[in-house]
Each structure stands twice: as C-alpha cells, then as structure tokens.
Amino acid sequence: MLLFKRVVDLQAHLQTLRQSNKTIGFVPTMGALHDGHLQLIRQSQEAGNDITVCSIFVNPRQFDDKKDLELYPRPIEQDIEKLTSIHCDILFLPSVDEIYPNEWQTPDFDFGELDKTMEGAQRPGHFKGMAQVVHRLLWIVQPNRLYMGQKDFQQVAIVKNMLQQLDWSHIELVRAPIVREADGLAMSSRNVRLSPAGRAKAKYISQTLREAAERVASLSPAQLKAWATAYLHDHQLENIDYFEIINSDTLQTIETWDAAPSVAACTVVRVDGVRLLDNIILK
Ligand code: AMP
C-alpha cells in the first residue's frame, strides 16, 4: 500500500493512473477502522475499480462538540495494518493544513430541508463541515466511485444532493449496507467508549429497529414511533435524541406509509454519553 500525506504527491500519482485509464474507488473515513470501513474497501475492490483509495482524516470542522473531537480514537498504526492486510492500494493521510489551505474556497451549498432534521438539528454545523471535507477530498481524488455507509443515512442523502449541485454526475455514489457486531449493534469507531453495561444494552437499538420493521403492516408511522420509543425505554435506553420515520429521499417525516416510495426509520440513542446512530429501511 502506498501512503500519501501531501495533496500534490497524491494528485501526481493518481494523474498517471488516470492517464492509463485506471478507475478509482474512494472510501473517505475518520480512521479507527473497523469492519464497517473495511467492507466499503472490499466493495470497491469487488466492483472492479482498478485502484482503491482510503482517506483517514479526522475533520475538525464537522465536530460541533470539542470533547467528542478530543476523544475521537486515532489508532493509526493499527489502521495501516488493517488496510495493508486487505490490500488497499492507497492511503491518503493528510494534515489539517493540507485539507484546508488558506487559498481553498468551499462552495456554499444549500441543502434545503435535508440538513435541518435529525443529525442536522442536533449538531449545528456538522453537515456544513462534512460537506466541506467531502467536497475537498473528491476534488483531490477525483474518483469514479465513492463508497459511503448506510449507517450515516442522512450523510449519504446530503452527499448525493451535493454531487447534484456540483453537477459531478461522473462520480457514482454507492451506499453500502450497515455492518454490525454479532449482537446487532452497528459498528462505530465510538463504540470503544461504551462501558460494559452500556455495551450490553446497546444491542436493543438494532433490535428495536428490526422489531419495528415487523410492525409496519399493523401500525401507522406515528404509532410505530410511539411503540419504538416505549420499547427502547423498556430496555433502559432512555436518552433518545430522536427516532424518526422518514421519506428516504427527502428525509422528512411521513404520516402514512404511502407518502413515499422508500421509507426508513432513523434513530440516535445516547448510551454512556456516546451517540449511537442506527437505521433500517422499512420499505
Ligand atoms: P467515519 O469514519 O465514521 O466517518 O465513517 C467512514 C465511512 O464508513 C462512512 O461512509 C460511514 O457511513 C461508513 N461506516 C461507518 N460505520 C459503518 C458500519 N457499521 N457499516 C457500514 N458503513 C459504516
């Protein structure tokens, strides 16, 4: 695996590959890699991209909570080992100055209602910061395909919208399924911060979503939300930042199951002060 820390070096290398018609799959991450991240890399490899690039960059601009930024795990040696073991071709490991040089200007994206709900409502500035880094990374890497996880459901919808605003239809956005621990908890770099007791009850988040999916035929969206909230409470999960049943495209809550062609339930539950995101596609 090749490791690049500087934008100019990575760009020069990718330019030569592009000239020989190599296709590039790109997986942006913040590191502390787990199987969820590695699955995205495998998906890029299996889709036949000639080159798979992974970036690790803990983007300060998308952290609304300074403590969360400080506590974010950064096990870079282990990350390099994991990427090497699955034969990732390139790791891009830039500094903050490489990503945000003084002369760099990010377009002012308007995501309409997409970034006003759920994570957007809970974490002011988060999606603006996320869009800035994804835009910058895409400008640098210029991939053919971009791989992102369904775990960050709203993030994928916003990046899709950003690609439309930029008219970058030459980049195909691929949404990969959520990779889970054996008990169903969605894998996350933040899971290491859970206490043993918190870790034990965290499995009820995904269980709630699975059970909710089985009740779509018998309950209205509002009834299902009430049922899920009560079910989480019954399992000592009281700190629910939100549980929303939404139109998968617009991310707005729905009142009837016919209101959208695709519907998802998205939730964030706080356990030991850690925000655990999860979702399921209901229809
Ligand atoms: P992060 O490092 O948390 O910014 O995540 C980098 C990418 O990995 C994002 O596209 C995430 O949605 C994706 N990802 C994180 N956790 C998972 C998971 N458990 N399953 C699938 N994709 C994931």
134: CA distance to ligand 1 center in Å?
A: 14
Which pLDDT belongs to residue 170?
97
Which pLDDT belongs to residue 108?
86
Q: pLDDT in tens for each of the 283 residues of the chain?
A: 999 999 999 999 999 999 999 999 999 999 999 999 999 999 999 999 999 999 999 999 999 899 999 999 999 999 999 999 999 999 999 999 999 999 999 888 999 999 999 999 999 999 999 999 999 999 999 999 999 999 999 999 999 999 999 999 999 999 999 999 999 999 999 999 999 999 999 999 999 999 999 999 999 999 999 999 999 999 999 999 999 999 999 999 999 999 999 999 999 999 999 999 999 999 9
User: Reduced to 3 states, what is the DSSP secondary structure of residue 204?
Assistant: helix
| Protein residue closest via CA to atom 11 of ligand 1 | 149
The answer to whether 247 and 282 are in contact (CB under 8 A) is no
The one-letter amino acid at 18: R
DSSP-assigned states of every residue in 21-78: T--EEEEEE-SS--HHHHHHHHHHHHTT-SEEEEEE---GGG-S-HHHHHH----HHH
Which pLDDT belongs to residue 106?
87
Could you say which of 13, 37, 170, 233 is catalytic?
Answer: 37
| Protein residue closest via CA to atom 10 of ligand 1 | 148
Annotation marks residue 37 as catalytic:
yes
Query: pTM score, two decimals?
Result: 0.97
